[in-house]
Amino acid sequence: MNEILKKESLSPAVKLMVLNCPFIAEKAQAGQFFILRANELAERIPLTIADYDREQGTITAIFQEMGASTKILGQMEVGDSILDVVGPLGVPSEIEKFDAPVIVVGGGVGIAPIYPVARALKEAGNEVIAVIGARNRELIFWEDKLRAVTDELVICTDDGSYGQKGFVTNAVVDLHTKHGKIACLWAIGPMPMMRAMTNVTRPLGIKTIVSMNPLMMDGTGMCGACRVQVGNETKFACVDGPEFDGHLVDFDLALKRLSIYKNEEKRAIAHMEHQGGGCGCH
């Protein structure tokens, strides 16, 4: 169980892993996530479910090696087994048939979790437009998979090395002008990108759903580490989300909370490198 069946490098720091997790695959839905712990030395990592195959009993994880625990995970290979995998967690995306086109926006690693949302929206009979963006062409992935489940795909790169030059927010404004009405928009990616997107869609009157990725520990609503301010209420991303109305999210507070453990993360990476960087999984 939890065996790594496939591993692929999507870019120098971004890895894809297909895991044998039949119980999670059986229940997984778009918008949900799972928590894994690579081994006894690693911390628990929440990852949005990028894809799932009920027949094969697999789930797909895509992650960026940033902290010590993701670096440990990135060192594991096909045939290794993840120590703990728990899920599916969180509330699934609210999928319905809309009366106008819908847009899914993925920034950076956020390209991965918009795929199951786009697929579910398309299966519900919607006209689906995908907008994906990254710093450069090297960081763009899953273009073919998204084309297969959408009616239109717009690619943006900050440096103009692929697709159109500029940010995903510019592309959304252009699409709104082109189509006249956008029923709903999902944005998944770095918090600054999601905040920028909500600032753009608010005056355009586009309902905007964001998938929050705050600090998280147990994933069951017990610890309160993943709390986010949504309107006048405190919500827990693990049990109330991870998707929320982006126009109600206090992104300033969320970004402050996200930076709380930056120094500890640096020390953890330094300690791992001092110990030789081994994952201890073989």
| Whether the predicted pLDDT of 282 surpasses 50 | no
Q: What is the pLDDT of residue 277?
A: 55
Region at 219 (left for phi over 0; alpha for psi -120 to 50; beta for the rest): left
pLDDT tens per residue, range 80-125:
999 999 999 999 999 999 999 999 999 999 999 999 999 999 999 9
Annotated binding-site residues for [2Fe-2S] cluster read: 223, 226, 238
Strands 207-211, 184-188: pairing is parallel
Same domain, yes or no: 20 and 75: yes
- Residue 225, number of CB atoms within 10 A of its CB: 16
Same domain, yes or no: 83 and 125: no
Same domain, yes or no: 31 and 98: no
Q: What is the pLDDT of residue 26?
A: 96
Identify the domain boundary among 59, 90, 121: 90
Same domain, yes or no: 97 and 189: yes
Identify the domain boundary among 75, 90, 105: 90
Q: Is there a domain that residue 276 lies in? A: no
Q: What is the pLDDT of residue 281?
A: 46
Annotated binding-site residues read: 62-64, 223, 226, 238
Q: Tokens for 148?
A: 């297969």
Confidence band for 262, pLDDT divided at 50, 70 and 90: low
Same domain, yes or no: 60 and 107: no
Q: What is the pLDDT of residue 53?
A: 96
Same domain, yes or no: 109 and 176: yes
Q: Is there a domain that residue 238 lies in? A: no
Same domain, yes or no: 80 and 105: no
Q: Is there a domain that residue 227 lies in? A: no
Alpha carbon distances (Å) from 173 to 126, 131, 144, 147, 210: 20, 11, 24, 21, 17
Supply the range of the domain harboring residue 188.
93-211
Q: What is the mean pLDDT of the chain?
A: 89
Question: What pTM value is reported for the model?
Answer: 0.87
Same domain, yes or no: 180 and 73: no
Annotated binding-site residues for FAD read: 62-64
Structural domain total, the chain: 2
Same domain, yes or no: 39 and 112: no
- Residue 230, number of CB atoms within 10 A of its CB: 20
pLDDT tens per residue, range 211-240:
998 677 777 777 777 888 899 899 988 888
- Distance between CA atoms of residues 18 and 246, nearest Å: 30
pLDDT tens per residue, range 25-74:
999 999 999 999 888 878 888 899 999 999 999 999 999 888 788 888 99
- Distance between CA atoms of residues 151 and 260, nearest Å: 41
Q: What CATH number is attached to the domain comprising 79? A: 2.40.30.10
Q: Is there a domain that residue 260 lies in? A: no
Q: What is the pLDDT of residue 268?
A: 52
| Whether the predicted pLDDT of 263 surpasses 60 | no
Same domain, yes or no: 81 and 130: no
